[in-house]
Structure 1
Amino acid sequence: MPATDDEIREKYLERAIRELNELNRELYACEWCPRAGAMPVLGSGHPLADIFLVKFAPTRAEIEEGVAFYGRSGTALLKSFNRLGIDPLCVYGTVVVKCPVADLELSDARCHARLAEEFAIVEPRILVVMGERALEAVNALELPLSVPLEPKLGVVQRLTPSCEALFVPDIDDSLDEERAKRTFWNAFRVLGEWWAAFPPY
């Protein structure tokens, strides 16, 4: 008897959870970056999310909790998702620099490249790239069949045949000043338009 769509989705979800857990174990054991015994900052959200958020480096709150988008940025994003009518359960967020190093330049390029593994596991429909350093890191991954992304704020671009991308300002640089907040929101709200046009499955 052939498997149902629900059974197939469940198998994909089980595999994604297993692969993310394995990636996280590798991160805990990794010694590439000089993090002096501190824990890495892990991605969070649905393992098969439609929306994949990435920023370059974690904040102090994220380092303390070991979870990406914990604290102010996560709270701001939840409010934004609510305004845009986006289900936050369809979102996954992570950082490029997963190790809490004293100087971002000390983070190993091999660590940055783990983002490609994370992206391949989640298989999102759209990648939201926050900030120019994150954009440079994503372009450096050279994902299979990918097209380099342009630094065009609020413009949905084709990244791969199965995934689009949206470039927005770094959210952590956008929370303390009104003009920066408006610039972030004007770019980020395009995600709401993308989501509204996204066909339900």
Structure 2
Amino acid sequence: MASTDQGPGPVDRRSSSRPVAKRADGNEIQERYLRRAIAEINELGDELLALGDELHVPVLGSGHPLGDIFLLKHRPTPSEIQEGVAFFGRSGQALLKSLQRLSVDPLAVYGTNCLKFGTEAPAEARGWLTRELHIVQPKLLVAMGEETVGFLNELEFPLSDELDPGRLGESQPFTPTIEALVTPDIDASLDEQSAKTRFWNAFKALGAWWAELPPY
């Protein structure tokens, strides 16, 4: 991670340079996939930045562009809007601590919001999220909050199943290749101890999932 204040991944969107992702251990085919994913994520970011202005700043995804884990919440917070980076601030710090406690590699994580500006029409935002999911191709999608689950259920992503927002902390099929884990909204879970506990009880299932992931 570039900073303890940022989200779960190594991409620093505040920098003028392109993101530097982890290499693929000499695997040429994987390296090609990685270069293509970086280019496509940057292309999406450039398109969103071109749509922004002084009053409407896009919040771009952060993390590994081929991350096994895709963290998703509904809308950006003021701190994320100020920095233009998803999971910047309190939620990013809380998630980093949670990932460390679960022994999950934060370099295997990509994080973003359903809404990129926080004010756009959901129909417009669905196209951007669909592109992100196609680019990253995660193995596990962590959907944070009922609004996020509702957004995903209306996404009409190819071969996707409807997620049950009531099945907190349970693995659910999203597509034939992507599992889903539903948790409470992280941004609404940071102030009260009972809310923190409820989020953790659902999110900690990620640790068991990660431990069972084949090392190849």
Q: Normalising to structure 1: TM-score of the pair?
A: 0.91
1:112 Cα deviation (Å)? 3.1
For residues 108-119 of structure 1, the aligned pairs below 5 Å read 108-119=122-133
State the aligned residue count: 191
SS at match of 1:58: coil
Point out where structure 2 has 5 or more consecutive residues left out of the alignment.
1-24
Measured at CA, do residues 100 and 132 of structure 1 come closer, stay the same or move farther in structure 2, by a change above 3 Å?
A: closer
Task: Write the letter of the residue equivalent to 1:107.
Answer: A
- Aligned equivalents of 2:111 and 2:96: distance in 1? 12
- Aligned equivalents of 2:141 and 2:189: distance in 1? 19
Partner of 1:178: 193
**1:9 maps to 2:42:** no
For residues 4-153 of structure 1, the aligned pairs below 5 Å read 6-30=27-51, 37-101=55-119, 107-151=121-165, 152-153=167-168
Check whether the contact 1:39–1:100 (CA below 8 A) recurs between aligned residues: no
- Aligned equivalents of 1:112 and 1:177: distance in 2? 31
Query: Can you list the C-alpha shifts for 1:172-198, whole angstroms capped at 9, x where unaligned?
Result: 000000000000000000011100111
Identity of aligned residues (%): 56
Task: Write the letter of the residue equivalent to 1:148.
Answer: E
1:39 Cα deviation (Å)? 1.9
Q: CA RMSD in A?
A: 1.5
1:5 Cα deviation (Å)? 6.8
Runs of at least 4 residues off by over 6 Å = none
SS at match of 1:141: coil
Query: Can you list the C-alpha shifts for 1:58-102, whole angstroms capped at 9, x where unaligned?
Result: 11110110000000000000100011000000000000110143x
Check whether the contact 1:99–1:107 (CA below 8 A) recurs between aligned residues: no
1:37 Cα deviation (Å)? 3.9
Partner of 2:18: none
